[in-house]
Structure 1
Amino acid sequence: MTLQSTPCVFLVDDDEDDRFLVQQVFKQYNPEFTLKSFFNGQELLNALAVTTRLPKLVLLDLNMPFMGGLEALAFLRKDAKYDTMPIVILTTSDNYADKQRATELKANDFFTKPGAIDELNQLLLKLRHKWLIDQNTTNPV
């Protein structure tokens, strides 16, 4: 399988430690996927503008410099090209208003980042089964 044909997941988070942890756990459970990381919402939009294949999943933090997750989500959902692209919020926020706003903007799911590595393992396994495995079988690449 070449890099171009490898299904991809985008991780958007400004916290280097969080990106590192997610990358390590993600690789363990999803070796068949390429994980591309971005620092903020603007980098995500720039990457999407030039990609030939949409990612299978976007993991989007909320609180980031330059363009936060809610702003990026609002922009993406206004464009029919990204209407069905799964976007899951993965953030440190447990604020009900953030969750409600993400839901209004059509985020596919919302998770508060777990504090322990075993909880992160469980969360990424859940995301794999819900968004990657099931999506791969119903929408083959």
Structure 2
Amino acid sequence: MPNTVLIIDDNQDDILITKRIFAKIAPDIITESALSGEAGLALLRCEKMLPMFILLDLKMHGMGGLDALRQMRSDERLKNIPVIVLTSSALESDERDAYAAGADSFINKAFDIEQFSSDMTGILQRYLSN
């Protein structure tokens, strides 16, 4: 999955919006998705090629984003994949906890589509240039 982004989010609408934004700003990028932390980890562990980066929701039913992130960082094969935490939470403690767990970036889910598109463009530029 070298030109792939994995979206792990329990909100199907958020996944759909994110996929549409990527289709518009980077049509050559493939977006895969998982509806839970558990499903995301299972997908990562069975894939031969790993994604360029992961967009990980912080607050999910079942295994939350922090627990999934901690498991990724403790897995030798997954620990170096950049993980961008996306959340609607405005709590500073959530941002602090995400970075402590190993997040590479922390972005608030913008309710404005243009702002979210701009955020995703910035993320793409950052990780495509590496």
Q: Do these two structures clear the TM 0.5 threshold for a shared fold by scoring above it?
A: yes
Q: Pick from 112, 116, 138: which aligns with 2:112?
A: 116
Q: How many residues align?
A: 130
Where does structure 1 lack aligned partners over 5 or more consecutive residues? 136-141
Which residue does the alignment assign to 1:72?
68
Where does structure 2 lack aligned partners over 5 or more consecutive residues? none
Q: Pick from 37, 57, 66: which aligns with 1:41?
A: 37
Offset at residue 79 of structure 1 (A): 1.5
The structure whose Rg is larger is 1
Cα separation, 2, equivalents of 1:82 and 1:49: 8
The TM-score normalised by the length of structure 1 is 0.88
Cα separation, 1, equivalents of 2:66 and 2:26: 26
Matches within 5 A, 1:1-141: 7-131=3-127, 133-135=128-130
Cα separation, 2, equivalents of 1:53 and 1:99: 29
Secondary structure of 1:81's aligned partner = coil
Runs of 4+ aligned structure 1 residues displaced above 6 Å come to: none
> Percent identity between the aligned chains?
28
The TM-score normalised by the length of structure 2 is 0.95
Which residue does the alignment assign to 1:138?
none
Cα separation, 2, equivalents of 1:30 and 1:84: 23
Cα separation, 1, equivalents of 2:110 and 2:25: 17
Cα separation, 2, equivalents of 1:99 and 1:129: 22
Cα separation, 2, equivalents of 1:15 and 1:54: 23
Offset at residue 122 of structure 1 (A): 0.6
1:67 maps to a residue whose letter is: M
1:85 maps to a residue whose letter is: I
Cα separation, 2, equivalents of 1:9 and 1:134: 15
